[in-house]
Amino acid sequence: MQESLLVITDAGSLFQEVLANPGRSRTVVIVLQPGENTGAEVHSQFDEYARVDRGIGKVVVDGEAADIREGQVVVISSGSRHSIRNTASSGGLRLSVVYLRHPELAPRRMSTGQMASSAQVA
Protein backbone atom coordinates (compact mmCIF):
# COMPACT_ATOMS: atom_id res chain seq x y z
CA MET A 1 0.00 0.00 0.00
CA GLN A 2 1.37 3.40 -0.98
CA GLU A 3 1.12 6.29 1.45
CA SER A 4 -0.51 9.40 -0.01
CA LEU A 5 0.79 11.68 2.75
CA LEU A 6 4.15 11.59 4.47
CA VAL A 7 5.04 13.99 7.27
CA ILE A 8 8.76 14.24 8.01
CA THR A 9 9.61 15.13 11.59
CA ASP A 10 13.23 14.24 12.35
CA ALA A 11 15.84 11.88 10.91
CA GLY A 12 18.04 12.13 13.97
CA SER A 13 21.75 11.86 13.26
CA LEU A 14 21.68 9.17 10.58
CA PHE A 15 23.84 9.82 7.52
CA GLN A 16 20.99 8.90 5.16
CA GLU A 17 17.47 7.61 5.65
CA VAL A 18 15.08 6.75 2.81
CA LEU A 19 11.67 8.02 3.88
CA ALA A 20 9.63 7.11 0.81
CA ASN A 21 10.25 5.24 -2.42
CA PRO A 22 6.98 5.09 -4.38
CA GLY A 23 8.52 4.27 -7.78
CA ARG A 24 9.11 7.38 -9.87
CA SER A 25 10.54 9.35 -6.95
CA ARG A 26 12.46 8.84 -3.73
CA THR A 27 12.58 11.05 -0.65
CA VAL A 28 15.69 10.93 1.52
CA VAL A 29 17.04 12.85 4.50
CA ILE A 30 20.83 13.20 4.62
CA VAL A 31 22.73 14.49 7.66
CA LEU A 32 26.44 15.25 7.20
CA GLN A 33 28.64 16.03 10.19
CA PRO A 34 31.37 18.73 9.92
CA GLY A 35 33.84 17.78 7.19
CA GLU A 36 31.75 14.88 5.88
CA ASN A 37 30.62 14.68 2.26
CA THR A 38 28.36 12.55 0.11
CA GLY A 39 31.16 11.49 -2.20
CA ALA A 40 30.99 12.11 -5.94
CA GLU A 41 28.01 10.46 -7.61
CA VAL A 42 25.98 10.52 -10.83
CA HIS A 43 22.29 9.66 -11.14
CA SER A 44 21.60 8.77 -14.76
CA GLN A 45 17.80 8.56 -14.49
CA PHE A 46 16.89 11.01 -11.72
CA ASP A 47 16.97 14.77 -11.18
CA GLU A 48 17.87 15.59 -7.57
CA TYR A 49 16.29 18.42 -5.57
CA ALA A 50 18.06 19.01 -2.24
CA ARG A 51 16.69 21.51 0.29
CA VAL A 52 19.11 22.65 2.99
CA ASP A 53 17.11 22.27 6.20
CA ARG A 54 19.96 23.16 8.54
CA GLY A 55 23.61 24.16 8.31
CA ILE A 56 26.06 25.32 5.67
CA GLY A 57 28.03 23.51 3.02
CA LYS A 58 29.39 23.38 -0.48
CA VAL A 59 27.95 21.65 -3.53
CA VAL A 60 30.06 20.76 -6.56
CA VAL A 61 28.24 19.94 -9.80
CA ASP A 62 30.28 19.02 -12.87
CA GLY A 63 33.28 20.85 -11.40
CA GLU A 64 31.39 24.06 -10.53
CA ALA A 65 31.25 24.81 -6.78
CA ALA A 66 28.73 26.90 -4.82
CA ASP A 67 28.24 27.59 -1.12
CA ILE A 68 24.86 26.51 0.26
CA ARG A 69 22.99 27.42 3.44
CA GLU A 70 19.73 26.84 5.27
CA GLY A 71 16.63 27.55 3.19
CA GLN A 72 18.27 27.11 -0.21
CA VAL A 73 17.36 24.44 -2.77
CA VAL A 74 19.94 22.80 -5.01
CA VAL A 75 18.73 21.34 -8.33
CA ILE A 76 21.02 18.73 -9.87
CA SER A 77 20.14 17.48 -13.35
CA SER A 78 20.40 13.79 -14.16
CA GLY A 79 23.78 12.81 -15.52
CA SER A 80 25.65 15.50 -13.54
CA ARG A 81 28.59 14.42 -11.38
CA HIS A 82 28.06 15.99 -7.95
CA SER A 83 28.90 15.98 -4.26
CA ILE A 84 27.82 17.91 -1.18
CA ARG A 85 30.07 18.67 1.82
CA ASN A 86 29.42 20.13 5.28
CA THR A 87 31.82 23.08 5.60
CA ALA A 88 30.81 24.06 9.14
CA SER A 89 33.20 23.67 12.07
CA SER A 90 30.30 22.41 14.21
CA GLY A 91 26.75 21.24 13.64
CA GLY A 92 25.21 18.94 11.07
CA LEU A 93 24.23 19.80 7.50
CA ARG A 94 20.72 18.39 7.04
CA LEU A 95 19.29 17.98 3.56
CA SER A 96 15.83 16.84 2.48
CA VAL A 97 16.33 15.32 -0.95
CA VAL A 98 13.78 14.31 -3.57
CA TYR A 99 14.89 12.28 -6.59
CA LEU A 100 12.49 12.44 -9.54
CA ARG A 101 12.70 10.01 -12.45
CA HIS A 102 12.39 11.37 -15.97
CA PRO A 103 9.58 9.58 -17.83
CA GLU A 104 11.79 9.52 -20.94
CA LEU A 105 14.55 7.84 -18.89
CA ALA A 106 12.45 4.84 -17.93
CA PRO A 107 14.41 1.66 -17.22
CA ARG A 108 15.46 -0.17 -20.37
CA ARG A 109 17.31 -3.34 -21.24
CA MET A 110 21.02 -2.96 -21.85
CA SER A 111 23.62 -5.28 -23.29
CA THR A 112 26.56 -6.31 -21.11
CA GLY A 113 28.80 -3.85 -22.99
CA GLN A 114 26.38 -0.97 -22.39
CA MET A 115 26.19 -1.78 -18.67
CA ALA A 116 29.99 -1.79 -18.41
CA SER A 117 30.18 1.66 -20.08
CA SER A 118 27.48 3.05 -17.77
CA ALA A 119 29.28 1.75 -14.71
CA GLN A 120 32.47 3.58 -15.71
CA VAL A 121 30.65 6.94 -15.81
CA ALA A 122 29.15 6.54 -12.33
Over the stretch 59-100, which tens digit does the pLDDT of each residue have?
999 999 999 999 999 999 999 999 999 999 999 999 999 888
- CATH class of the 18-103 domain in this structure: mainly beta
Whether the pLDDT of residue 122 is over 60: the answer is no
Q: Which residue has the higher pLDDT, 85 or 119?
A: 85
Query: What pTM was computed for the model?
Result: 0.69
Q: How do the domains of the chain map onto residue ranges?
A: 18-103
Q: What is the DSSP string of the chain?
A: ---S-------TT-SEEEEE--SSEEEEEEEE-TT-B---B--SSEEEEEEEEESEEEEEETTEEEEEETT-EEEE-TT--EEEEE--SSS-EEEEEEEEE-GGG------HHHHHHHHHH-
pLDDT score of 114 = 41
Whether residue 100 contacts residue 24, with contact meaning beta carbons closer than 8 Å, is answered with yes
Mean predicted confidence (pLDDT) in 15-43: 79
